[in-house]
Amino acid sequence: MSWLNITFAVKKDELDSVCELLELANAQSVTIVDAGDDPLFDLLDGELPVWDCSLVTGLFNAQQGADVVMANLSKVFEPDALLKCRVESLPERDWERSWMDRFQPMQYGRDLWICPTWYEPPDPKAANVMLDPGLAFGSGSHETTRMCMEWLSEQKLTGRSVIDYGCGSGILAIAALKLGATSALGVDIDQQALLASRQNAQLNQVSDRLQLALPDAMPDQSEGDIVFANILAGTLVELKSQLLALRKAQGVLVLSGILQSQEAMIYKEFEAGNSIQIYNDGDWLMMSVTAQS
């Protein structure tokens, strides 16, 4: 099968419309990258990255010929816009196989693995979380989640309860249950994240021990021995009181999704009455927050 990449250089106010037009023209996927070198952080769930100038690329199945693809584009784009786009022909290859080969089982500590479903677990006796990679909700490869997983792999979880606030794919809650936690509660503002977490819990046979809820529908008096909040730094500050209230008296609150430049801000917000330990990975850091005795 042959493919075409159609790329447009667009200004900020054109981004949404160009993405929509590419989808209307039957693009198999749409990707957005910065046209310069201006990284963006702290995007909210569902937000598109917005630079002053972006490169927007649609991937098209060209099996019927490039002329057919361009004809479909001409139905939704103005002729002047098509004159400025870059058309790149891609060689035939097994794209699904190529995509799958990018992802390998990942190990955290000695006994915790995240494995795509098309792989046999490298260590069948370990705590193996079967989870297919996805862009929307996380698969354990990003530094923020990786630090949480490494930390979790070193904890004694038997008899303990876990809350994952901003659960995404459910990866942290499911991993905790696989490592011996008694129960877990996953909380997210996105119904699709809760659906993904439920499906992943069923795949890993822990759905009987995992509750899932929107923030305003959490069980009364919810508390956890371990509370994860792997979200945005600004949101951590906004939710400070709620997150601390979810932590049991002798429990620990694990904060992640924090850039190195945001360390002082988060530390100042959570230091009163707490002991804080900081972990680093590249540009990111994680904090474990326990109540001072």
Say whether pLDDT at 65 is over 70: yes
Q: Write down the pLDDT at residue 266.
A: 96
Q: Write down the pLDDT at residue 135.
A: 39
Q: Which domain holds residue 211?
A: 140-291
For residue 124, what pLDDT band results from cuts at 50, 70 and 90? very high
Asked whether residue 191 is assigned to any structural domain, the reply reads yes
Q: Are residues 27 and 168 in the same domain?
A: no
Say whether pLDDT at 148 is over 70: yes
User: Against a cut of 0.85, is the pTM above it?
Assistant: no
Say whether pLDDT at 42 is over 50: no
The mean per-residue pLDDT over the stretch 106-135 comes to: 87
Asked whether residue 129 is assigned to any structural domain, the reply reads no
Q: Are residues 263 and 174 in the same domain?
A: yes
Q: Write down the pLDDT at residue 39.
A: 46
Q: Write down the pLDDT at residue 43.
A: 39
Q: Are residues 180 and 286 in the same domain?
A: yes
Say whether pLDDT at 175 is over 90: yes
List strand residue ranges (DSSP E) for the chain, in order.
3-11, 29-34, 53-61, 86-90, 106-108, 112-115, 127-130, 161-165, 183-187, 210-213, 224-230, 247-259, 274-281, 284-291
Q: Are residues 36 and 161 in the same domain?
A: no
Q: How many domains does the chain have?
A: 2
Say whether pLDDT at 41 is over 50: no
Say whether pLDDT at 278 is over 70: yes
Q: Which of 93, 110, 130 is the last residue of a domain?
A: 93
Q: Are residues 156 and 277 in the same domain?
A: yes
Q: Are residues 154 and 232 in the same domain?
A: yes
Q: Are residues 80 and 218 in the same domain?
A: no
Q: What is the CATH number of the domain that holds 184?
A: 3.40.50.150
Residue with the two structure tokens 């990866």? 171
The mean per-residue pLDDT over the stretch 149-166 comes to: 96
Its sign, for the CA torsion 213, 229, 163, 168, is positive
Q: Write down the pLDDT at residue 13.
A: 81
Q: Write down the pLDDT at residue 138.
A: 54
Q: Which of 76, 93, 110 is the last residue of a domain?
A: 93
Q: Are residues 198 and 287 in the same domain?
A: yes
Q: Are residues 89 and 147 in the same domain?
A: no
Q: Write down the pLDDT at residue 127.
A: 95
Say whether pLDDT at 132 is over 80: no
The mean per-residue pLDDT over the stretch 186-201 comes to: 91
Q: For the chain, percent helix, then strand, then coil, each to nearest 5?
A: 35, 30, 35
